[in-house]
Copies of this chain bind each other. A is one copy, B any other.
Amino acid sequence: MFEKTIKSTSIYKGRMLGLRDDEVELPNGKISHREICEHPGAVAIVPITNDGKIILIRQFRKPIEEVIYEIPAGLINKGEELKDAAVRELEEETGYKANKIEFALTVYTSPGYSTEKLHIFIAKDLVKTQNNPDEDENIEVAITPIDIALQMIKSGEIKDGKTIVGICLVEIK
């Protein structure tokens, strides 16, 4: 099934994203091309309060021109441990610090065209440390009972892939 790279051509290297075109040899010997979006990888956090609610955030996302519900997430800093990135992003985006954080899953968000790996953590024992999370990010916090979050998936109100994965992870555990 493997596709051998004949030639890899970089099209763009940006601040966060890159783009390249790989010329590949298919298993049957034919030549094809793969356009690949290069992403540095990220963490996402499913924050569960002591009374079993999930801390969601609402933020505007330019690529889709819409304010959506999401679990907290963000890029990993250079040299940063995944767990540390998860704790940091959670606090920056929600104002809550996690005393307990556990790795759950690594997910490929769009393996057909993107290199992105998203590492999902479950955060518990949450303590509020800031009233005003990262101002430049324009984030609203929405603490939501799990059963309501599941309803919001079914109704189409929660549309973000990683957020659906995160909520379902809690439900199927």
Contact = CB atoms under 8 A, between A and B. Distances in A.
B150 A172 contact: yes
A165 B108 CA distance: 12
Contacts of A19: 11-12, 14, 17, 19, 37
Chain A interface size band reads 35 or more
Contact of A111 (B5, B63, B150, B171): B63
Interface of A is mostly: mixed
Copies of the polypeptide in the assembly: 2
A141 interface: no
B60 A35 contact: no
B24 A62 contact: yes
Contacts of A39: 110, 113
Interface in A24-49: 24, 26-28, 30, 32-37, 39, 42
Contact of A161 (B24, B109, B153): B109
B111 A160 contact: yes
Interface in A88-134: 105-118
A15 B37 contact: no
Contacts of A79: none
A10 B42 CA distance: 25
B37 A37 contact: yes
A20 to B, nearest CB: 10
Q: Which 3 A-B pairs have the closest CB atoms?
A: A168-B168, A61-B111, A1-B60
Interface of A: 1-3, 5, 11-12, 14-17, 19, 21-22, 24, 26-28, 30, 32-37, 39, 42, 58-64, 66-68, 70, 73, 105-118, 135-136, 138, 140, 150, 153-154, 156, 159-162, 164-165, 168-169, 171-173
